């Protein structure tokens, strides 16, 4: 009998242990009440001509059909949605609308278009989108999580689904089982696991069983994307602050998804024909004589080349929009000689303006006179150290600042420079603890379609490089309306393909980096940037003859073929 009682006591203890373990596992798998935004069980739905609005407690959700195959999903805490303005998505796309058929019943609110079935759970506001055959295209698996100003979405990740996009990222073509942060970063000598790097394109494509779907998170703050790395069976995305505003668009083919992304964010402009040819560059050709020598060697050896680049050392003490007259005594004459030999010149113009009061430096003097520079919280002009030394930075979120910046190209364009290269525009800062602008630096938004207001750099950082290239592109169009601008930018954002081509930044002279280049360029292409390249031979270091030969062969099939390398490396 004692044995019998001992046996049942042991079973009871095991039962309690299993219950405790199950509770612990459940606590680990299920977000706590503090992690999930509390929702009331009674939600109210208001039908719209092109969708629905749902109010649940202090959460407001709007799902609208812009086209039969394009949805815009916006959520906010409170009774009103955020400002309907975007740096990435075109106004015509945002204003687009198609009628829907409201389809509400049971536990769900919803509607149908001619391509999609939309359902919103009445209790949790979790969203499910299906095609007309009933195939699930996208499905929330948890309610939206809010943590102060931050938010995160959680989506179902089937075992056979794959993920592409996010633009300029290292690693495999398929993003599955990877996680990424979007925060434009000067990533010299980046490697296969380096993240983040130069560009922020918060858009990706899912692909499963022949069906492709695009998702674009329209948020300029620091964002992150996790494709099953943290939690098996779940992918997620979110931002540190800013609007919860994203677009979902159905293919079903990947080509249709890319076309719709271009409908949302714009297409690249037609580029000058010469930019399709081989481009020769180095940091730096230190003199006029050296530039002409390199050009002459290319022609003597019958190497087809269409462009030659001038890096920062053609300038006086690295100051943008100046010329070192000692090293380049006749820059207009040099350009004329190169043009006679069918070369086009691309010149770098970094966005940092040397802080030089009293030195008759026109970019600084005119910028100060027009109040064109970003500021510290106390209202003084922000200064950071870059190539020219202490520098100030244009406030590109102001349309008048972009117009001023574009006008600075007048003299360089007049002497025959055909293309311009905007580098260091993450922005890269040498004497900052974060190697970029402090997040509390103040920008002023003065832009058609936006409320006029100030914004911190935390909000503007990832689009700063894009607005720099926009200012260059629009300035060149104003100065010479009959010519197609060629602008090359290192940092950019979703929609930046409207203004500039891009490349993958400071790669290395290694076989691994040659291997990295192709999936990086493919994902940039899937993310709207059709005209892209990687520094042939690798920027950092000297390639072996075998590596350089193979890289030239591979790059001949890539949109931009530019040979570029750093100081101290071999020719």
CB atoms within 10 A of CB 407: 13
d(Cα 301, Cα 465) in Å, to the nearest integer? 38
Task: Given the residues 506, 535, 563, 566, select the one marked as catalytic.
Answer: 506
478: left (phi over 0), alpha (psi -120 to 50) or beta: alpha
Number of Cβ within a 10 Å radius of residue 379: 7
- Contact (Cβ atoms closer than 8 angstroms) between residue 304 and residue 262: no
Q: Strand, coil or helix: what is 233?
A: coil
Could you say which of 324, 426, 561, 563 is catalytic? 426
Residue 447 among the catalytic residues:
no
Residue 387 to residue 327: CA distance in whole angstroms = 18
Active-site residue flag, 426: yes
β pairing state of 532-533 and 108-112: unpaired
Q: What tokens appear for 94 in the block?
A: 């945002």
Residue 376 structure tokens: 């510290």
Tell me if residue 107 is catalytic: no
Closest-CA residue to 111 (of 146, 75, 73, 145): 73
Q: Do strands 501-503 and 486-489 pair parallel, antiparallel, or not at all (unpaired)?
A: parallel
Q: What is the spatial distance between Cα 120 and Cα 102, in angstroms, rounded to a whole number?
A: 12
Choice among 186, 423, 462, 566 that is catalytic: 423
| Distance in angstroms (rounded) separating the CA atoms of residues 533 and 531 | 7
As a whole number of angstroms, the distance between CA 222 and CA 200 comes to 9
**Among all residues, which ones are annotated catalytic?**
423, 426, 506
């Amino acid at each position: 009998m004692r044995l019998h009682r001992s046996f049942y006591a042991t079973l009871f203890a095991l039962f309690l242990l299993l219950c405790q373990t199950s509770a612990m596992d459940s606590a680990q798998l299920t977000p706590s009440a503090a992690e999930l935004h509390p929702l009331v069980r009674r939600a109210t739905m208001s039908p719209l001509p092109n969708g629905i609005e749902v109010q649940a407690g202090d959460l407001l959700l709007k799902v609208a059909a812009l086209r039969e195959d394009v949805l815009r999903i916006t959520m906010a805490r409170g009774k009103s949605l955020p400002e309907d303005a975007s740096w990435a998505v075109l106004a015509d796309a945002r204003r687009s609308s198609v009628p829907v058929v409201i389809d509400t019943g049971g536990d769900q609110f919803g509607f149908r278009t001619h391509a999609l079935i939309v359902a919103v759970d009445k209790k949790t506001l979790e969203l499910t989108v299906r095609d007309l055959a009933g195939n699930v295209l996208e499905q929330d698996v948890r309610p939206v999580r809010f943590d102060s100003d931050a938010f995160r979405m959680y989506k179902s990740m089937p075992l056979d689904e794959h993920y592409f996009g996010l633009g300029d990222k290292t690693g495999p073509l398929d993003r599955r089982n990877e996680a990424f942060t979007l925060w434009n970063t000067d990533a010299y000598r980046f490697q296969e696991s380096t993240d983040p790097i130069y560009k922020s394109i918060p858009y990706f494509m899912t692909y499963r069983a022949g069906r492709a779907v695009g998702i674009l998170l329209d948020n300029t703050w620091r964002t992150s994307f996790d494709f099953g790395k943290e939690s098996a069976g779940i992918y997620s995305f979110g931002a540190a602050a800013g609007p919860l505003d994203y677009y979902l668009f159905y293919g079903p083919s990947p080509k249709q998804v890319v076309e719709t992304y271009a409908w949302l964010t714009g297409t690249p402009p037609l580029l000058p024909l010469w930019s399709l040819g081989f481009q020769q560059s180095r940091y730096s050709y230190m003199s006029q004589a050296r530039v002409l020598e390199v050009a002459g060697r290319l022609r003597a050896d019958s190497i087809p080349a269409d462009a030659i680049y001038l890096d920062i050392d053609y300038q006086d003490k690295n100051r943008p929009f100046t010329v070192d007259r000692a090293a380049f005594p006749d820059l207009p004459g040099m350009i004329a000689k190169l043009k006679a030999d069918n070369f086009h010149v691309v010149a770098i113009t970094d966005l940092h303006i040397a802080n030089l009061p009293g030195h008759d430096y026109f970019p600084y003097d005119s910028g100060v006179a027009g109040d064109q520079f970003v500021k510290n919280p106390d209202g003084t002009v922000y200064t950071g150290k870059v190539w020219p030394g202490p520098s100030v930075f244009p406030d590109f979120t102001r349309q008048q600042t972009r117009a001023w910046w574009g006008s600075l190209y007048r003299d360089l364009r007049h002497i025959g420079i055909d293309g311009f290269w905007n580098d260091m525009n993450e922005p890269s800062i040498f004497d900052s603890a974060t190697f970029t602008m402090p997040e509390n630096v103040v920008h002023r938004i003065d832009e058609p379609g936006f409320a006029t207001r100030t914004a911190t750099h935390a909000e503007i950082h990832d689009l700063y490089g894009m607005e720099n290239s926009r200012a260059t592109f629009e300035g060149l169009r104003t100065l010479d309306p009959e010519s197609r601008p060629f602008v090359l930018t290192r940092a950019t954002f979703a929609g930046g393909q409207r203004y500039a081509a891009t490349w993958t930044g400071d790669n290395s002279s290694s076989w691994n980096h040659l291997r990295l280049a192709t999936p990086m360029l493919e994902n940039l292409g899937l993310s709207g940037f059709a005209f892209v390249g990687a520094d042939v031979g690798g920027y950092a270091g000297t390639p072996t003859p075998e590596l350089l030969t193979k890289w030239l062969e591979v790059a001949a099939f890539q949109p931009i073929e530019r040979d570029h390398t750093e100081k101290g490396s071999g020719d």
